[in-house]
Structure 1
């Protein structure tokens, strides 16, 4: 049975397979070898309306009369499909004619963005490559969607997506719509450090641009995670340690980790601090004829034992280069050679003076400035075309350009010029907004509630000029101010200022009002790296209205109710808190002197001084600050007026109300009483304060402080025969402060306890201030 079945199967195979083999062999004999090649004498392009036939054939790469293989025809099909011009393409040989059928991409009728609330349409549309009335391209639309998502990523919304959709219209047009899902902001929940021994995590977090989420993280977006900040944080952290002598400091890794729910980042800096070195011996060696090492040694203004810092070395080199320039030496190279004394943790520095390369600045090319004029950028350079090339001066110019605040990014680089001895300096900038419109609401127990409106433009019309207009009103006072500054008057480092002002203030302990308005001009110029001199002239008009005889002091009633004051003066200022050799300490000093009497109704000389010193201690966790202020006025025409005398406000002497100290007329004419504050010809105040953490998590933004103030106002020209006591009586106060950085602004709570005061003084045991900008 089985055998019979197998024989039957064999017979069937013979019947079907043998004829098939015969047919295949006949086909193989009949078909020539070149059956897969074509010779097209003509082409028939169908479906194209915008693209002409010649353009289609040019993209296909085929021409009439040439022989094309099946592979070449397929390549032509692929080129047409990848051209971005057609949705679909079909290629069909028909005899000696190749029929190409295409469906063109539609044109874009309009572009819309939906679902975006955090970023406006105008902010996103400028990022798109797709534009209306041009051919729609799916590849371009995908790139546009990625650009929108990237814009959200920069703001911390890492889960944001954008999906391109098309809506078909007639005449082969489409509306291109990007559907945006913004997602939630991804915050930096925690910033931690590994390997830090000398500085706490709290102190190091203060150095970084990035911040971790705080108590008001839903309102404050400064803690949003932005990956691009990591590079800046690395540089800031490195600069912090190197300025403190840690020459071996290194950041071994920065690890941002996304939480499982993708809602927060945890950033960890792994660092190696090393040891802190101090500066030892600093010497000069010269390999350049005409450069006397002893002369350059005098340019070293750094004492031994100071914490080593690259900034200190740079400052010394700059002084030596300036000295070389004054002596007529050109192309001087000054290189520091560092020798480490690991046993004593000292760095000995030898400055080697040698001949530098003979290279000149051919030109300075500036790009990227759409609004800012070229001259605003060029004036930051100490070199011009044709000067010897100095890499240090170029780097310093780049820093000055960044310091203007006009640009989001500044790149300065050199490239070879037309000859090997010439260099072209390329400056590439990216502008950023420089104007601001601010609305401020404030409250204090002294002045009550207040509102302020401020407009400022730091780069007016792209000329680098500053323009500011402000209006401020609070309980009992109103003011309006205008100022304009040209920082490069006469194309020099000379700042020209113009100002105008109007103010109305309630007189202390009286219903009278003091009205003052005027205008002024000033010029300011640097005297050194840290000092500046300002010369000014002001013309004021002031008047005191609302005084009532028998209720207000007769001293005030007898004074001229209004007067014009023409005064000229100067202010010398010195501040090395940011540029000094010690990054943890610095001082600021200002001295103002003025003379009134060049016209006007009053004549006096007045001087005022203010000095401040601050430092960080306890591994920079605690800030100590001491401030001294003092002043004196001498009336040259018989006496001084209330408008020109001194009084202390509640910020100058805490624990007392504004105008609450100093001479006071407590007896009115006719036996009555009044409480008119008279001010004084002299004042002095010293403030000592400390700010420190109080153990709360730093994301709460709450820290503490303690203070001790002592001061007084005294001296009058008219005391009504001794009826008014104008002697010097020191007032003193101690207190504690609570500082709280909130979404509304910085809050400060002062709890004061006056130690020394007079019976007629106006004391205050609690003071609260807040300022919010929106």
Structure 2
């Protein structure tokens, strides 16, 4: 009799149990009664290679409560009809475990070909709490961690959040802070995650010492650094706490300080922070090599493009031979050359300054090498920071679009357009590498600022008696860039209402259009025996002629009415004939235009340029 039973079993955490088929052969001989009474001869043979493989008949999922069976099967890399072995099952277990949905996964193949998938789901997070935090607010900690209530608990994410909290405390000057995560098991497979925090003491800076400095005193260099020594009056400052990232920034600040004052070959030999034996504070020692003081030597501009004149570009540089060497002026010169080349139509230029120092004369010769770089096209444009203003309002002010060739001059003009709107406190446009070497991503970052105004005023005069003023102005109505102004004034003699609306992109075109409505009344019947009323409105259109000039046209229509009391102009004792001649209603209209040229270099804080207008 032969029996062959095959079973494959594997468990999570790399435990694989394979039970190979055993071929048991029993031979019984009945030649004589003596042989019949002997114990059967059992021979255990090694299973053939194909005995470790089996065909899956069907897949049965067990243990799932919240997660649907189809979801589990979608992650499982095994289908009915597949031939599997221990390696295949191991891969399947690891695949399911990597989803982060399950706390435990077991797969077993039964003799009838059914693959049993036993899972234990990860619990749902009920709430996340913090204990022991005093130096850092709970909101700051909650914003830092990634786990959230009603999310799925995984040990890896909790450990990742522990590292983030520890780093947050380290940056606040508490390098000995520890965080211990704990779980509170609840019913229905839920848990509370508690981060127990031991903040530890603040680790301050006891002293900052400089070695090797001759040109500048310790106090001069300490003033350059953001890191400060711990003093009692710095109670509300965190810059006197130890932060290695801040010290890295301070080293860069020291380098800029020296190189902007002529010390071309300045170096920081070492920067060491030593913890005191009682772990209360660090002592920072910075060793520098100042070197000699240098001036600029020969300044040249070398270009590979014959249509970019190197001598002309050199005249634009903010550097002259004999000037004190300053590293910031090198960057300013690169920006000037880049902008000049872009304005001339060569947006794809690379400018590489090369230096040659002469220690004998203490001069630095600088050559700016200008060459056309690889043509770069805009892959996409990202707009961030606009919490109120619509994306379309920002994008329509950009003079470049996705798919266009990158042009630095147009990018700078786009930035000026956005700043001129008056909607944003700050506008930054940065370029990063795109999906390919010839592609770039343009990131437009804006910081919103208030655009609405509400004014209320009240007064008293001997003529008007009590006067009340109310005005509302919104320069970015509903985030669409529209301008709305409404004003009202009430007094015993004068009442006035004004309303103005402006659409900066009328019908989606580069045309600024708007309308005005107003009503004014002067009630002078007590003093001059007449009542004056004026009601009207107008339309305005502005069309840009180019990047610097615009043409505006306007038309206004109003109805004026002078009301005189009955009997004032007739009979004995009639009133003023001049006033009587003005009685009645009149319809007046007017039209005009304005030609404006604006060559200012900055719409908000101009430093050069001019404006001119012709108005009629």
Name the TM-score, length of structure 2 as normaliser. Answer: 0.53
CA gap 1:251/1:428 in 2 versus in 1, 3 angstroms: farther
Aligned equivalents of 2:406 and 2:49: distance in 1? 76
1:86 aligns with 2:96: no
CA gap 1:105/1:195 in 2 versus in 1, 3 angstroms: same
CA gap 1:45/1:211 in 2 versus in 1, 3 angstroms: same
**2:187 counterpart residue number:** 170
**1:52 counterpart residue number:** 68
CA gap 1:361/1:196 in 2 versus in 1, 3 angstroms: farther
**1:659 counterpart residue number:** none
1:122 aligns with 2:136: no
Aligned equivalents of 1:392 and 1:244: distance in 2? 34
1:68 aligns with 2:84: yes
| CA-CA distance at 1:223 after TM superposition | 1.0
**1:744 counterpart residue number:** none
Matches within 5 A, 1:309-348: 309-313=326-330, 339-348=356-365
| CA-CA distance at 1:179 after TM superposition | 2.0
| CA-CA distance at 1:277 after TM superposition | 0.6
1:200 aligns with 2:217: yes
**1:184 counterpart residue number:** 201
Please list the CA deviations of residues 236-295 of structure 1 after superposition, one character each: whole Å capped at 9, or x if unmatched.
Answer: 112111111111123344434444554433333343322111234657788876888887
Please list the CA deviations of residues 602-635 of structure 1 after superposition, one character each: whole Å capped at 9, or x if unmatched.
Answer: xxxxxxxxxxxxxxxxxxxxxxxxxxxxxxxxxx
Q: Specify every segment of 5 or more residues in structure 1 that has no aligned partner in the other structure, as ranges.
A: 1-21, 435-458, 465-489, 492-774
Match 2:227 to one of 186, 207, 210: 210
Match 1:274 to one of 264, 285, 291: 291
In structure 2, the residue corresponding to 1:308 is in which secondary structure? coil
Preserved contact between residue 371 and residue 462 of structure 1 (Cα < 8 Å): no
**2:111 counterpart residue number:** 95
CA gap 1:277/1:170 in 2 versus in 1, 3 angstroms: same
Q: Specify every segment of 5 or more residues in structure 2 that has no aligned partner in the other structure, as ranges.
A: 1-37, 451-475, 482-503, 506-616
CA gap 1:387/1:241 in 2 versus in 1, 3 angstroms: farther
Match 2:443 to one of 417, 422, 427: 427
**2:430 counterpart residue number:** 412
Preserved contact between residue 362 and residue 417 of structure 1 (Cα < 8 Å): no
Aligned equivalents of 2:336 and 2:229: distance in 1? 41
Aligned equivalents of 1:257 and 1:392: distance in 2? 51
Please list the CA deviations of residues 478-531 of structure 1 after superposition, one character each: whole Å capped at 9, or x if unmatched.
Answer: xxxxxxxxxxxx99xxxxxxxxxxxxxxxxxxxxxxxxxxxxxxxxxxxxxxxx
Match 1:307 to one of 315, 321, 324: 324
**1:26 counterpart residue number:** 42
Please list the CA deviations of residues 654-679 of structure 1 after superposition, one character each: whole Å capped at 9, or x if unmatched.
Answer: xxxxxxxxxxxxxxxxxxxxxxxxxx
Preserved contact between residue 387 and residue 448 of structure 2 (Cα < 8 Å): no
**1:368 counterpart residue number:** 384
Aligned equivalents of 2:287 and 2:330: distance in 1? 28
Match 1:222 to one of 239, 253, 261: 239
Matches within 5 A, 1:166-565: 166-216=183-233, 219-280=236-297, 305-313=322-330, 339-348=356-365, 356=372, 365-371=381-387, 389-390=407-408, 412-415=430-433, 424=440, 426-427=442-443, 429=445
Preserved contact between residue 62 and residue 76 of structure 1 (Cα < 8 Å): yes
Aligned equivalents of 1:317 and 1:78: distance in 2? 54
Preserved contact between residue 339 and residue 409 of structure 2 (Cα < 8 Å): no
| CA-CA distance at 1:388 after TM superposition | 8.0
Aligned equivalents of 1:247 and 1:392: distance in 2? 35
Preserved contact between residue 211 and residue 222 of structure 1 (Cα < 8 Å): yes
In structure 2, the residue corresponding to 1:26 is in which secondary structure? strand
Aligned equivalents of 1:347 and 1:376: distance in 2? 48
In structure 2, the residue corresponding to 1:229 is in which secondary structure? helix
CA gap 1:111/1:416 in 2 versus in 1, 3 angstroms: closer
Please list the CA deviations of residues 373-403 of structure 1 after superposition, one character each: whole Å capped at 9, or x if unmatched.
Answer: 689999999x8678984599979x89x99xx
CA gap 1:188/1:433 in 2 versus in 1, 3 angstroms: farther
CA gap 1:226/1:52 in 2 versus in 1, 3 angstroms: same
Report the RMSD for the aligned CA atoms in angstroms: 5.2
In structure 2, the residue corresponding to 1:238 is in which secondary structure? helix
Aligned equivalents of 1:172 and 1:424: distance in 2? 48
Q: Which moved further from structure 2: 75-84 or 291-300?
A: 291-300
| CA-CA distance at 1:47 after TM superposition | 2.4
Name the TM-score, length of structure 1 as normaliser. Answer: 0.43
Aligned equivalents of 2:299 and 2:206: distance in 1? 46
Preserved contact between residue 278 and residue 308 of structure 1 (Cα < 8 Å): yes
Preserved contact between residue 318 and residue 329 of structure 2 (Cα < 8 Å): no
In structure 1, the residue corresponding to 2:65 is in which secondary structure? coil
Preserved contact between residue 127 and residue 147 of structure 1 (Cα < 8 Å): yes
Please list the CA deviations of residues 518-560 of structure 1 after superposition, one character each: whole Å capped at 9, or x if unmatched.
Answer: xxxxxxxxxxxxxxxxxxxxxxxxxxxxxxxxxxxxxxxxxxx
1:106 aligns with 2:123: yes
Match 2:159 to one of 127, 133, 142: 142
Aligned equivalents of 1:168 and 1:372: distance in 2? 43
Number of residue equivalences: 412
**1:716 counterpart residue number:** none
CA gap 1:265/1:93 in 2 versus in 1, 3 angstroms: same
Aligned equivalents of 2:273 and 2:231: distance in 1? 18
In structure 2, the residue corresponding to 1:157 is in which secondary structure? coil
In structure 1, the residue corresponding to 2:272 is in which secondary structure? strand
Preserved contact between residue 361 and residue 384 of structure 1 (Cα < 8 Å): no
Aligned equivalents of 1:266 and 1:405: distance in 2? 43
| CA-CA distance at 1:139 after TM superposition | 1.9
Aligned equivalents of 2:282 and 2:424: distance in 1? 30
CA gap 1:31/1:265 in 2 versus in 1, 3 angstroms: same
1:157 aligns with 2:168: no
| CA-CA distance at 1:367 after TM superposition | 3.6
Preserved contact between residue 365 and residue 424 of structure 1 (Cα < 8 Å): no
